[in-house]
Each structure stands twice: as structure tokens, then as C-alpha cells.
Amino acid sequence: MKDTIIFAIETSCDETSMAFVKNGNEVLGMTVLSQMDTHANFGGVVPEIASRMHTENITMVFEDILTQSDLKMTDVDAIAVTYAPGLLGSLLVGVEFAKVLSLVYNKPLIAVNHTMGHIFANQINNELKYPLLSLIVSGGHTDLVLMKGSYDIEILGSTIDDAAGEVYDKVARVLGLPYPGGPNIDKLAKEGANTYSLPTPMKDNTYQFSFSGLKSAVINLVHNEEQRGNKIRKNDLACSFQEAVIDELKRKVELALKNTGVKEMILAGGVSANVKLRETLKDLCEEYQVNFHVPSFKYCTDNAAMIGAAAYSLYQKKIFSGFDLTAESSMDIKKYMEQMKN
């Protein structure tokens, strides 16, 4: 069978990234230009600055990937781009650029959902076997889903309030740690002990997650201690918070492993870079004799290779977009699955 090479673009948040991906699982080249240092000055991503920087950087990133790889745009079978969800202005820069490439090189255009991209990061250098259980934990989403095929998804549960990554970022801010909060809490937690008593988010047997109560508990604890003039043991609090989040995620995953009996599990989204979470779920899966997969670190956070991987089966099914494709800022998996059916 002839190889399929997809050129992918990702600009949904603060990374401008492009990649060449072969057959949905082999990365032939990737460039990621992060704006993280700029946004760190503001304690979080500033949408207006993000879209402006994508506009400034996108041709540079395009030139860079063509220079560093042996491939030309004429070698490509399709152009894939993240169209949702994300920051509207940022997404639009990628979508419009993709349309231009599609028009100039006469290649089909593939619209990719960003969350599906995180899932398919697990397909890079790895074969996905269905049915599988997938936990998606990112800055905007926390979902536990059962995948019966590449785009055949049953949602078991989602967060009813904040996403896991979002809570990491908010707690980090209260602890005075720089943006992005997740990796910094992860680092600090390694130096601490689980000595602060925090509430268990949801003591129930559903697949739903809730993290806002935990977030409020940490914020209140910090404020109360400050008012009393007590010093916070930041590393212990980071550790206690992280344990509470991971405990919640683990409990729901265990419930799903028991109830579904699946033998394959994947972890996806930016929070999948968390070492403690990776280890906890790996051990849990071992206990249940389930094969556990997680992307290598560079494919955990936003990147274009995962978009190229997610585009592959859309290419095979010839699900292409016209030049009327536009960006959409909010699109959870449920809404996306409903759209796919129509």
C-alpha cells in the first residue's frame, strides 16, 4: 500500500507547530514554537497576544520545517489543521494558513479536533488496539471515554466543573509558581510529602469528575494560613494537592477498568506529562493486566504531530473540508461526536 504523508498544523493555544506524519504513526519532521515565555509574564495565556504571535510566527515555522526536513509540499497527500476547540483567534491563523496551502498545492484539507489529536498522540510509534479506555486530561478537558474504533467513541464521564490541568494552573498561581502551573507543581510535589488534609473530590461511583471543591479548599487553606501569619509548606501542599487529583483520576479509571473489562488503556492531554500520574496508572493497569500506553513527553503537550496522526483515519475515510471551514472555540467530545454523525 502506498504511504500517506499528511502535513499538519496546530495553533489552538500558545504553540505554533507543524509536522509531516507518515501513515498516522511516524513523524517525519516536526517544529514547535512555543510562546510560553511571553505568556509567563502575564501568569497565563493572553488570547490577543497569542493570535498576534501566531500571525508573526507561522511563516517562520513553515520555512523552518521545510528546511529541516527532506520533504517538499508536493510529497504531501493532505493538509490537516486543528479547527476546534481552542482560542478562536489562534485557531483562525492555522485554519487560514492551511486553506492557503491546500489551495496552492491542490491537496485535500482535513479539519482535526484538538482533543482527538491528544488521543492520537498515542498512535505515534504505537499501534492502537480497540476497544480501549482513554483518559484525556488537559488544560480544557477531563474526559474518560471508551473507544471502539478510531472515531467511534462512547463518553463514560467528564468533569462537571474545572478541568484537571486548569486546576493545576490555578493552584500553582495561588502558590506563587510561574505559568504553566502543571509542570511546576509536578516538580515541587516531588520534594514534598502528603501532609495537608484535602477533600476527596467526588466520593461516588459515577465516571464524573469534579475538581472545583479541591481547588477552593487549597485556595482557602492558603488564605487562612496567610491571615494567621503562618508559612505555607509549598512543597507539601503541592504534593497533597497532586495526590488528591491523581487519586480521583485513578479511582474513576479503576471503576471503568472493572466495569468494561477492556485490555487496553491510553492516557492523553497535557497533564499526561505528569510523571506521578503516568506511574500510578501504569501500576493500576498492571494490576488489572491491561496494556497501558502514554505518549512520549514531546507529544503530550500541544504539537502538530498528534494532529497529523488524528487526521490519518479521516484521510482514509475521505472526510475532507471545503474552504468554508472555520474555527470553533468550544467543542467538547460529545458535541464533536454528534457533529461527526451528521
Distances (CA, A) of 254 to 129, 258, 307: 19, 6, 29
Tell me, residue by residue from 89 to 128, as one string, x for binding to ligand KG4 by CB under 6 A and - for no binding.
Answer: -------------------------x---x----------
Choice between 13 and 265, CB closer to ligand KG4: 13
Binding-site member from 162, 301, 304, 306 for ligand KG4 (CB under 6 A): 301
H/E element, 41: none
The CA-based angle 247-248-254, given to 5 degrees, is: 85
Cβ atoms within 10 A of the Cβ of 171, count?
25
117 binding partner (options Zn ion, ligand KG4, none; Cβ < 5 to 8 Å by kind): none
Binding-site member from 24, 302, 307, 333 for Zn ion (CB under 5 A): 302
Choice between 31 and 102, CB closer to ligand KG4: 31
250: which 3 cell numbers? 485513578
Report the alpha-carbon distance of residue 147 to residue 119 in Å, rounded: 10
Choice between 34 and 57, CB closer to ligand KG4: 34
Report the alpha-carbon distance of residue 139 to residue 170 in Å, rounded: 11
- Chain positions 128 to 157 lying near ligand KG4, rule: CB under 6 A, are 138-140
Choice between 186 and 302, CB closer to Zn ion: 302
Quickly list DSSP for 124-176.
TTS---SSEEEEEE-SS-EEEEEEEETTEEEEEEEBSS--HHHHHHHHHHHTT
Tell me, residue by residue from 114 to 153, as one string, x for binding to Zn ion by CB under 5 A and - for no binding.
Answer: ------------------------x---------------
204: which 3 cell numbers? 461516588
Stretch that binds ligand KG4, among 120-128, 178-186, 191-199, 204-212 (CB under 6 A): 178-186
Q: What's the length of the chain?
A: 342
- Chain positions 240 to 279 lying near ligand KG4, rule: CB under 6 A, are 269-271, 273-274
Choice between 271 and 281, CB closer to Zn ion: 271
Tell me, residue by residue from 186 to 225, as one string, x for binding to ligand KG4 by CB under 6 A and - for no binding.
Answer: x---------------------------------------
Choice between 4 and 329, CB closer to Zn ion: 329
What's the one-letter identity of residue 27? V
Asked if 112 and 306 touch (Cβ cutoff 8 Å), the reply is no
234-260 helix and 164-174 helix, angle to the nearest 10 degrees = 170
Residues in the interface with Zn ion (CB under 5 A) total 2
Tell me, residue by residue from 156 to 175, as one string, x for binding to ligand KG4 by CB under 6 A and - for no binding.
Answer: ---------x--xx------
Report the alpha-carbon distance of residue 9 to residue 275 in Å, rounded: 27
Query: Is 38 strand, coil or helix?
Result: helix
H/E element, 33: strand 26-34
CB of 254 to ligand KG4, least distance (A): 20
Choice between 172 and 290, CB closer to ligand KG4: 172
CB of 269 to Zn ion, least distance (A): 6
Residue the block writes with cell 461526536: 337
Choice between 140 and 192, CB closer to Zn ion: 140
Report the alpha-carbon distance of residue 167 to residue 170 in Å, rounded: 5
The CA-based angle 113-282-299, given to 5 degrees, is: 35
CB of 301 to Zn ion, least distance (A): 7
Q: Which residues bind Zn ion (CB under 5 A)?
A: 138, 302
Q: Residue numbers of the site for ligand KG4 (CB under 6 A)?
A: 13, 114, 118, 138-140, 165, 168-169, 180-183, 186, 269-271, 273-274, 301-302
